[in-house]
Amino acid sequence: MRTNLLSALIKLAIGSVLPAASFLISQAALADAVFPVDQVLPQLQQGTRVPILLPNQVPLLDQVYFDSTVEENSYSVDFVYTPDCQATACYAGTIRAERGGQLPTLEPGESFQTVQLAGGVRGQFVNFCGAYCTAVLSWQSEGVLYEVILKNGAQEELVQIANSAIEAGFRSTVASGSRFTGSGLILQETGALDSSSPLLSSDGSPYQEYQFQGQAGQAVTITMESNDFDTYLLLVDANSNVVAENDDISTDNFNSEIRTNLPRTGTYYVVANSYDASGRGSYIVTVR
């Protein structure tokens, strides 16, 4: 079995940015197999820049804890039967993501099965067996490897979890340096355009860039406010296409505002820019 899979079978806490957090799901709650998104998601949002996928449901049969571990370029949520589980006996499974991660490699004689997931996503299913079996369902999206892992799990259980996560869509992440405040606020960033800022090749105007995750059809309002210069705001998708842009809110308000519905699910970039090359000073960018 590969090293990356072995590491998923123990507590993934080494080198984490934030400490693991445990949430107990009782037998009664498991009647509907509800995943505690409201409890787990804030922990992940505070520390990762990876687009977050979490299921709304998991097909588990016993009392279980969910332990989350988060780093800037990865996160994992372990399903375990005891608090502070450090061994395979109490381990049930994991959902994890890693930017730049690779699909599991196989030993001679091992094989994988291609699985069709929700939204046309193609997954790779592998079942590694020894003293017990470890079922792994992997897929890649936007340079990120996503995996669902279950000890002694059936393929249909992993597909159910993966489809639940994919269908729920990307949960909002917070760019490094931003703060997540909830209540519909995706991110809010205070910054400055100065001599160290990168310049647009088109007109030499300074800018800063921030990213967030959005879903197809999602309505967003993006504002850029400054008392120091005439702002200019752009929204760009992962393929560098300009989705929307704005100079002035009105003839007497030189701040910028974009109101739009996102055309597709994925990563978006907010470009905080000045109207011309002379613009310098502080600003606030808000995405709701």
Q: Which residues lie across from 261 on neighbouring strands? A: 219
Residue at a domain's end among 102, 137, 168: 168
CA distance 234 to 224: 10
- Does the structure show a pLDDT above 60 at 201? yes
CA distance 154 to 178: 40
Say if residue 14 is in the same domain as residue 129. yes
pLDDT score of 82: 84
Q: Would you say residue 175 lies in a domain?
A: no
Say if residue 50 is in the same domain as residue 151. yes
For the chain, how many structural domains are there in total? 2
Q: Which domain holds residue 271?
A: 187-287
Average pLDDT over residues 244-263: 92
Cα distances (Å, whole numbers) of residue 9 to 150, 197, 228, 235: 9, 44, 53, 40
CA distance 259 to 252: 19
Say if residue 148 is in the same domain as residue 222. no
As given in the structure block, the two tokens for residue 45 are 């949002």
User: pLDDT higher for 284 or 176?
Assistant: 284
When mean pLDDT is compared across 11-20, 177-186, 201-210, the lowest value belongs to: 11-20
CA distance 261 to 129: 46
As given in the structure block, the two tokens for residue 10 are 């123990």
Handedness of CA 250, 254, 255, 260 (dihedral sign): positive
Is the model's pTM score more than 0.85?
A: no
Is residue 28 within 8 Å of 59, Cβ to Cβ? no
pLDDT score of 33: 60
Say if residue 25 is in the same domain as residue 162. yes
Q: Would you say residue 29 lies in a domain?
A: yes
CATH code for position 259: 2.60.120.380
Average pLDDT over residues 127-141: 90
Average pLDDT, whole number, for the chain?
A: 81
Residue at a domain's end among 138, 168, 198: 168
Q: Would you say residue 34 lies in a domain?
A: yes
- Does the structure show a pLDDT above 50 at 187? yes
The DSSP letter of residue 57 is B
Dihedrals phi, psi of 202, to nearest 5 degrees: -70, -40
Q: Would you say residue 69 lies in a domain?
A: yes
Q: Which of 200, 276, 183 is nearest to 232 (CA)?
A: 276
Q: Would you say residue 86 lies in a domain?
A: yes
Say if residue 191 is in the same domain as residue 147. no
Is residue 21 within 8 Å of 67, Cβ to Cβ? yes
Say if residue 11 is in the same domain as residue 47. yes
Say if residue 220 is in the same domain as residue 139. no
Q: Would you say residue 235 lies in a domain?
A: yes
CA distance 77 to 92: 11
Average pLDDT over residues 85-101: 88
pLDDT score of 4: 40
Could you give the percent of the chain with pLDDT greater than 90?
41
Say if residue 160 is in the same domain as residue 209. no
Three-class secondary structure of residue 88 per DSSP: helix
pLDDT score of 67: 86
Q: Which of 180, 255, 170, 175 is nearest to 218 (CA)?
A: 170
Say if residue 116 is in the same domain as residue 213. no
Say if residue 13 is in the same domain as residue 143. yes
Is residue 226 within 8 Å of 281, Cβ to Cβ? yes
Q: Would you say residue 180 lies in a domain?
A: no
Q: Would you say residue 179 lies in a domain?
A: no
Say if residue 22 is in the same domain as residue 157. yes
pLDDT score of 98: 93
- Does the structure show a pLDDT above 60 at 284? yes
Q: How confident is the model at residue 168 (pLDDT cuts 50, 70, 90)?
A: confident
| Highest mean pLDDT out of 13-22, 105-114, 118-127, 184-193 | 118-127
Q: How confident is the model at residue 184 (pLDDT cuts 50, 70, 90)?
A: low
Residue at a domain's end among 168, 195, 230: 168
| Highest mean pLDDT out of 32-36, 41-45, 78-82, 235-239 | 235-239
CA distance 260 to 268: 12
Of how many residues is the chain composed? 288
Q: How confident is the model at residue 173 (pLDDT cuts 50, 70, 90)?
A: low
Say if residue 17 is in the same domain as residue 159. yes
